[in-house]
Amino acid sequence: MPVPKEEDWRAIAAEFLERWNFPNCLGSIDGKHVVIQAPPCSGSQFYNYKGTYSVVLLAVVDAIYCFRVVDVGAYGKGRDGGTLRDSAFGQALQDGTLEIPPPASLPGAEDLGPVPHIFVGDEAFPLKHNLMRPYAGCQLPLPKPVRIFNKRLSRARLVVEFAFGILAARWRMYWRVLGLSPSNVDACVKATCVLYDYLRRSFQEPLRMEMGTPNGHLPDVTRAGANNAPRQALQVREKLTTYFSSPVGEVPWQYAVE
């Protein structure tokens, strides 16, 4: 599974804009716990917040549910943000070595200036200039543009959740506790991800949510996390928030559920 080059990232961003109405988006990112038997003498390293033992599959998924980057083997006790930070992908994202396209104007909104290409994740991930997360505080009466931003981001982010669901439905090993060593679990998970991509690309499965239907509206984010984001990341999120509520950036379905 080669890491995408700049032209690949551009194609992914175009797909996200066309299918999910989110510009400059390079992928949806999330972690999935793969449940295992407690390895001997491992202590609490693999013990996760769900009360099981696991290794983590961290994945970046494109707009058509294909895995583009996977990192397997992190200890289950870690959180998604820490797993990303310690992964090879996270380090490359931090170092700027992923061959990500340079910042570009949002469609029809050149007045906002260039906006970096970004990944989207849930509130477990940190807010960075190249990684967007929802606004926190969803139990509060948030301003309408903020609620619209959260809805648009959540819609794009759920692509990775759907990919995990398809993966687990096709390989039932994800439904049970794996009695293998962590290294063998890592190999099995990587194999299923590669086979998953092969099947999707070979048979072009027509799975997607249609805009304007009830299934196209996403639930509100219900969990808030700490947010110590740098100023540049906050500015990027504010630009996207302004764009999504503007005549050039709005879409009809974003107003259907408040």
Q: What is the pLDDT of residues 100-127, one digit of tens each?
A: 999 999 999 999 999 999 999 999 999 9
Residue 1: inside a domain? no
Residue 242: inside a domain? yes
Q: Is pLDDT above 80 for 24?
A: yes
Residue with tokens 């994800």: 174
Q: Is pLDDT above 50 for 208?
A: no
Per-residue model confidence (pLDDT) at position 2:
84
Q: Note down the domain range covering 201.
A: 6-255
Residue 204: inside a domain? yes
Per-residue model confidence (pLDDT) at position 207:
47
Listed range (20-34, 67-81, 82-96, 224-238) with the worst mean pLDDT:
224-238
Q: Is pLDDT above 60 for 83?
A: yes
Residue 116: inside a domain? yes
Residue 207: inside a domain? yes
Which of helix, strand or coil describes residue 11?
A: helix
Residue 159: inside a domain? yes
Give the count of domains, the chain: 1
In the sheet that holds 118-120, the strands lie side by side as 67-75, 53-61, 25-36, 118-120, 131-132
